[in-house]
Structure 1
Amino acid sequence: MLPKGSFRRCLVVAGLALCFAGVAEAAPDTSSPVGSANVTVADPTVPRPPGQPCVVQLFSNDTFNDYSPRPFSYTPPASCGTSWSKVVLEGDFSVSAGEQYDRTATIFLGGVNLYFGTTQEPASTEGRSWHVERDLTDYSALFRNAGQGQVFIGNIVNSTYTGVIYGSARLLFYPASVVAPAAKAPDAVYPLSSDPIGSTVTLNNSSSQMAATLTLPRNVERAYLDVFTQSQYADEFWYTCVPDQYAAETSECGGGNFREAEVSIDGQPAGVAPVYPWIYTGGIDLYIWKPTPGVQALNFMPYRVDLTPFAGILSNGSPHTVAVNVQGANNYFSATASLLVYQDAGAKQVSGQLVSNTLANQPPTPTIGSTLSQDASGNVTGNITTDLSRHFTIEGYVDTSHGRVHTTVDQTVAFADTQGFTIQGSLYDQTSDQLTSVEGVSRSRIGTFISGEFKERFRYPLHVDYNQTTLSSGGYSILTTIRQGYEQHSGVSIDGFPLYSADVHNKVEGSDTLVLNSGFQIVSHSGQQTKQTYAFSDSLGGCYSGSVSSANDVVTAYSSGQGCPGQRNRVFWFTHPDGSPYLGDAALGW
């Protein structure tokens, strides 16, 4: 039997303007990617406000063929002022034909992460190119000052790994206008990074921390933490691992498969960030991801943790340590985070306290169950289950220039996983069904008046069926079927009156069969098929839909706008159809 894990990585490689004038409506699709083998996704781009942006090039046509970061200097745009309705990062990358692994890609400025993702693997005779975008409006405070940054795509190029990666990136600044007012962006951004220019932090185990000790302004009114946690190395396929006591019996990686990012302030639990099971373009079966990668594989979205109940404490003039660790990390996770702070413009100093925190006495310890059994012939069948659900509330207040504001974060975070095994003779079958979910609400009130209420719901479903058969030739046939999704619901209301809601559904499903020889080299693959469907809708009538299907490594069907009124995508410029986080419970803080 092929040692499990041997082929999991394969080579080949705004303010709300009540007249919604700023509608981004997609032009009719005049070209079709059908028949193309190049990267094709159904994801929407970031919608833009009306007007001409100022463009600042961060780097252009850089070559990535080693493990050295590429530095760049940033200067704010001279002709767009310092108040913008939107700031968007655009990046264009490519990899030359040859053999190459997928690689991790990051862009940092002044220690703050601007982009985090991975790269597409090439074909031996054909390169690949792709485009990414990220809404960075919430980071506007960072861009008002000049600074130093760097892009890092660690890549080995030699006689074996021949694919060279190239990339360019720029920032687009959209000036504020009557129809596209300046965004109510945070007043300051603080990085949790490994150095002043910016790099990710390695978290080798549950005790490893990414931390920053900060002395913040004394008038913090709201605070949020954008968190990225990316699995690497032995932890890349964490979602297939089993508890140590079952590792030998199932021929699987140990350490269990529960992963969750824990946020703390001065050592006290302060929030939870679920870990998304990203699958990179060399993951499990590389052909599944040609030409459409897995959910967010090329462009990760951060998870935003509401730390507002701690605003009073953070404003007391003392240094405070904000930290993140990944529970269950097992060599290793790569992490970065950014603290976003709103200040009280009417007060130089505020005061406040944390009132209650029920997360503090709920450790992230899952319940493990097993029905595994082994017969006299050594055949193994049964399931391993891993479950954890926690409901918690964190409440605090801050005395501001407009009164005492109480904020309560009320969340339920859950993880449910079942690993099914059938191991007998020439057959090794492992089926993983996993669901990570978050449901919660952040409420702010002044007296009895609920000044803001922000609801969010996330679901990260994952299904992986790995079916491996030993052939009479001594080789192996491996059928892999994968389904993964990203579901997000966001809603804003004031004193019970709903103002806005939006839903994102991103799903990728695919399968392929690999044939390997006894030396674990790919002989052939067959039956590749992948489909991505993407849908966004909101309470303002915005709609986006996209779909792409492939077979035998080329696009076979593509649609955009079908399912929306008039068969056209139509979204407002201030919305987030890409799944990026909203600003929280401020009144539609666009």
Structure 2
Amino acid sequence: MLPNRFVGRCLALAGLSLTFACSAFAASASSGPTGSSNVTVADPGVPRPSGPPCVVQLFQDDTFTDFNTRPYSYTPPAGCGQHWSKVVLEADFSVTAGRQFDRTATLWLGGVNIYFGTTEEPSSSVAPSWHVERDLTDYSRLLSSAGNGQAIIGNVVNSTYTGVIHGSARLLFYPASIQAPAAQVPDAVYPLGGDPVGNTTELDSSTSQLAKTLSLPRNVERAYLDVFVQSQNADEFWYTCVPDQYAAEVQECGGGNFREAEVSIDGQPAGVAPVYPWIYTGGIDPYLWRPTTGVQTLNFMPYRVDLTPFAGVLSNGSPHTVALCVAGADNYFSATASLLVYLDPHAQQVGGQLVRNTLADQPPTPTIGDTLQQDASGNVTGNITTNLSRHFVIEGYADTSRGRVQTTVDQTVGFADTQGFTINATTYRQVTDQLTSVDGVSRSRIGHTVVGEYREKLSYPLHLDINEQIAADGSFTLATIAHQDYRQHSAHQLFGISVYSAKVGNTVDSADTLDFDASGNLTAHNGQHSTQAFAFHDSLGGCYRADVGTLNGVVSSYDSGNGCPDHRNHVYWFSHPDGSPDNGDIVPVW
């Protein structure tokens, strides 16, 4: 749709000996030979250890033609042991040729989200199909018991919207072995949503909440929250909106363009999750995303919030309410979150408390400025700026069987946005430059000794140049240039020793021009081209690189492995080249 204006796995411990070997595999992106008009992306699959997996089919070739859920039952794989080195969700989707909107797609089990993404829009001549994967290893405890799940892809099929969506999904379990030991996974997974099978919660405004009151075990020693917040409806193009006081002058959606997910425990701010500016396959100009979609469009990555400073509080035997809201939400965001909890295996009771929280005194209130000028003819030029930067420290301790563990989360979160406008009788041009960033460290101490440290830097650059030119006869063109980026740098230390680091980069650049007649009917488009570059490397020598180019709706170039040793992708089975969270499952061995 157009915007409203246009309608501790196998770590190489430096100086320490490894107790088991590391397996590797040659990761591959979606195949897409030159000339293909089918969905082609550069994203890596989820790496796995060697050996055949146990497979559980969740559903097979289900048809999505309405807004009813598609339920399924789940039973853990027989004869595959109770502990797995890796668990991977694989799903395949397709939509028949015709007309159809992009649709939100979610998969659930026992109230917990196991996949979140959107679908590709078809065309009259192309029936796209695509494949997605998600690393669910950290959800192994959820998957160790039978349960009920459901697939939700709300869709309308009638004489106008003819595209029928089909889908299949399965879980692959890789048994633990000497080469690929069982993952150190959370002991429990709790969904925040109220649906026992699973569904998203609608957050209409900044005060709307996804909340769950939980009575947790009394021996919690670490906790994390995996967060998804997806823009919908009037908020779909939140990144182009402006503060209400400027909306009429620049002819844009109001409500501002600052969005950020806020996490709280018992009403106290507990963490922040940045909002990625995903653009769906019908977004702005659908031709921009055929056949290569925007960053993560088909397969969102969750953001993991470290709540470990609250471990002692969560273990006190009282019910606690964990909640999520979206600052700036303006009808609306779809939200889901899962609480991942690690328990002390040698203690029935963990004591402790929160000792410092500077986030509590820093509300998410951005600074707004402008350089707009309007002349006597009503022509408007200038910029609107929105900025917010917060540095906060949250610190707490837990009295565990290992002693008192003091955990500190130290983060700086930033949002910087400039909207530039040129508006006159023949031009409406809006240029958006936005940067969301996180720079943080989670550090655990016993006494004066730092036993574990996890650092992460994230940045989400977005550039949009939307340029409408109006001819004398009333016809007009709409030219769009889009640049999306996802940058992640993570690093782990144990006892002051750097043991692992990794970098992920995912960049998509797209351009296209739409032609409209004086009645606003689309008559043609031209100049479509795009590139995607995906790069991953880590301190163990793991490397993945893939590049895709498109021209006029078909793949014009495709390369995989160029830039890696021997021009070959090679990543370790325990790594996260897709940018999915890893700080919860690489566990300090103290």
TM-score, length-normalised on structure 2?
0.97
2:30–2:40 CA contact under 8 A, matched in 1: no
Measured in 2, the distance between the counterparts of 1:241 and 1:364 equals 17
1:388–1:414 CA contact under 8 A, matched in 2: yes
In structure 1, the residue matched to 2:559 is 559
CA deviation map 1:397-438 (0-9, x unaligned): 000011000000000000000000000111000000000000
Judged with a 3 Å threshold, the aligned counterparts in structure 2 of structure 1 residues 215 and 26 are, in CA distance, closer, same or farther, namely closer
Measured in 1, the distance between the counterparts of 2:350 and 2:3 equals 56
The Cα of 1:339 is off from its aligned counterpart by 0.2
Measured in 2, the distance between the counterparts of 1:510 and 1:72 equals 38
In structure 1, the residue matched to 2:14 is none
In structure 2, the residue matched to 1:506 is 506
CA deviation map 1:207-242 (0-9, x unaligned): 000001000000000000000000000000000000
1:112–1:338 CA contact under 8 A, matched in 2: yes
1:108–1:150 CA contact under 8 A, matched in 2: yes
Amino acid of the structure 2 residue aligned with 1:581:
P
1:4–1:252 CA contact under 8 A, matched in 2: no
Structure 2 matches for 1:398-547, cutoff 5 A? 398-547=398-547
Residue 113 of structure 1 aligns to a residue in which SS? strand
In structure 1, the residue matched to 2:4 is 5
Measured in 1, the distance between the counterparts of 2:227 and 2:78 equals 31
Structure 2 matches for 1:341-352, cutoff 5 A? 341-352=341-352
1:194–1:200 CA contact under 8 A, matched in 2: no
In structure 2, the residue matched to 1:11 is none
The answer to whether the aligner puts 1:315 opposite 2:315 as a matched pair is yes
Judged with a 3 Å threshold, the aligned counterparts in structure 2 of structure 1 residues 585 and 66 are, in CA distance, closer, same or farther, namely closer
Residue 579 of structure 1 aligns to a residue in which SS? coil
1:492–1:587 CA contact under 8 A, matched in 2: no
CA deviation map 1:277-305 (0-9, x unaligned): 00000000100100000000000000000
In structure 1, the residue matched to 2:205 is 205
The Cα of 1:79 is off from its aligned counterpart by 1.3
Measured in 2, the distance between the counterparts of 1:351 and 1:127 equals 57
Measured in 2, the distance between the counterparts of 1:352 and 1:407 equals 11
Amino acid of the structure 2 residue aligned with 1:444:
S
1:23–1:573 CA contact under 8 A, matched in 2: yes
Measured in 2, the distance between the counterparts of 1:463 and 1:588 equals 39
CA deviation map 1:22-71 (0-9, x unaligned): 011248x9975210000000000000011210000000000000000000
The Cα of 1:475 is off from its aligned counterpart by 1.9
Correspondence for 1:16 among 10, 34, 43: 10
The answer to whether the aligner puts 1:46 opposite 2:41 as a matched pair is no
Amino acid of the structure 2 residue aligned with 1:7:
F
CA deviation map 1:112-133 (0-9, x unaligned): 0000000000011220000000
Measured in 1, the distance between the counterparts of 2:127 and 2:213 equals 44
Measured in 1, the distance between the counterparts of 2:121 and 2:86 equals 32
Number of positions where the alignment pairs a residue of Structure 1 with one of Structure 2: 581
Measured in 2, the distance between the counterparts of 1:386 and 1:131 equals 37
Structure 1 stretch 510-519 or stretch 95-104: which is displaced more? 510-519
Amino acid of the structure 1 residue aligned with 2:440:
G
Amino acid of the structure 2 residue aligned with 1:340:
L
Structure 2 matches for 1:72-471, cutoff 5 A? 72-471=72-471
Amino acid of the structure 2 residue aligned with 1:33:
P
Judged with a 3 Å threshold, the aligned counterparts in structure 2 of structure 1 residues 4 and 300 are, in CA distance, closer, same or farther, namely closer
The runs of 5 or more residues in structure 1 that have no matched partner are 9-13
The Cα of 1:516 is off from its aligned counterpart by 1.2
Amino acid of the structure 1 residue aligned with 2:552:
N
The Cα of 1:572 is off from its aligned counterpart by 0.2
Residue 288 of structure 2 aligns to a residue in which SS? helix
Measured in 2, the distance between the counterparts of 1:495 and 1:152 equals 45
The runs of 5 or more residues in structure 2 that have no matched partner are 12-17
Amino acid of the structure 1 residue aligned with 2:465:
D
Amino acid of the structure 2 residue aligned with 1:25:
A
CA deviation map 1:334-387 (0-9, x unaligned): 000000000000011110000100000000000000000100010000000000
Judged with a 3 Å threshold, the aligned counterparts in structure 2 of structure 1 residues 375 and 113 are, in CA distance, closer, same or farther, namely same
Measured in 2, the distance between the counterparts of 1:30 and 1:173 equals 22
Measured in 1, the distance between the counterparts of 2:540 and 2:198 equals 38
Amino acid of the structure 2 residue aligned with 1:519:
S
Measured in 2, the distance between the counterparts of 1:31 and 1:103 equals 23
The Cα of 1:545 is off from its aligned counterpart by 0.2
1:91–1:168 CA contact under 8 A, matched in 2: yes
The Cα of 1:6 is off from its aligned counterpart by 4.3
The answer to whether the aligner puts 1:71 opposite 2:71 as a matched pair is yes
Measured in 1, the distance between the counterparts of 2:491 and 2:115 equals 26
TM-score, length-normalised on structure 1?
0.97
The Cα of 1:588 is off from its aligned counterpart by 6.3
Measured in 1, the distance between the counterparts of 2:295 and 2:23 equals 28
Measured in 2, the distance between the counterparts of 1:429 and 1:213 equals 47
Residue 325 of structure 1 aligns to a residue in which SS? strand
